[in-house]
């Protein structure tokens, strides 16, 4: 979607939080695992961010209770919808994004 909708203002960002497993395995191993996963994704201009604050800080801040959570923001930088881990619906996310990008 980033390649297709980027010229229309869409920006995709992936955010990796430092999880308890990452802490146990060590930061370097965790980074390598994340990079390996990201390398398997379809090439895109997506921005990847690594947050090294404790995961409970971000879970509290964003009101999530697990991983992965997906957020879609509108052009005013407000959350249009948050998709919790149990609501993994790529089609719903794509439909919402396309509607926001087209202004409908």
- pLDDT, tens digit only, all 104 positions of the chain: 888 888 888 888 888 877 778 888 888 888 888 888 877 776 667 788 888 777 778 788 888 877 778 889 998 999 999 888 778 788 898 999 999 999 86
The highest-level CATH class for domain 2-102 is alpha beta
> How many whole angstroms separate alpha carbon 72 and alpha carbon 94?
10
Structure-token pair, residue 40: 């398997």
**Domain ranges for the chain:** 2-102
Nearest CA-CA partner of 56 in 43, 41, 66, 70: 66
If one counts every other C-beta atom within 10 angstroms of the C-beta of residue 82, the result is: 14
> How many whole angstroms separate alpha carbon 43 and alpha carbon 25?
27
The model's pTM is 0.72
């Amino acid at each position: 979607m980033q390649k297709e909708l980027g010229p229309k203002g869409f920006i995709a960002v992936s955010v990796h939080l430092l999880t308890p497993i990452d802490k146990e395995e060590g930061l370097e191993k965790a980074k390598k695992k994340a990079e390996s996963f990201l390398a398997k994704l379809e090439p895109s201009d997506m921005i990847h961010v690594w947050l090294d604050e404790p995961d409970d800080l971000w879970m509290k801040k964003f009101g999530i209770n697990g991983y992965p959570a997906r957020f879609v923001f509108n052009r005013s930088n407000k959350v249009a919808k948050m998709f919790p881990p149990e609501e993994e619906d790529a089609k719903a996310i794509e439909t919402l994004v396309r509607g926001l990008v087209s202004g409908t």
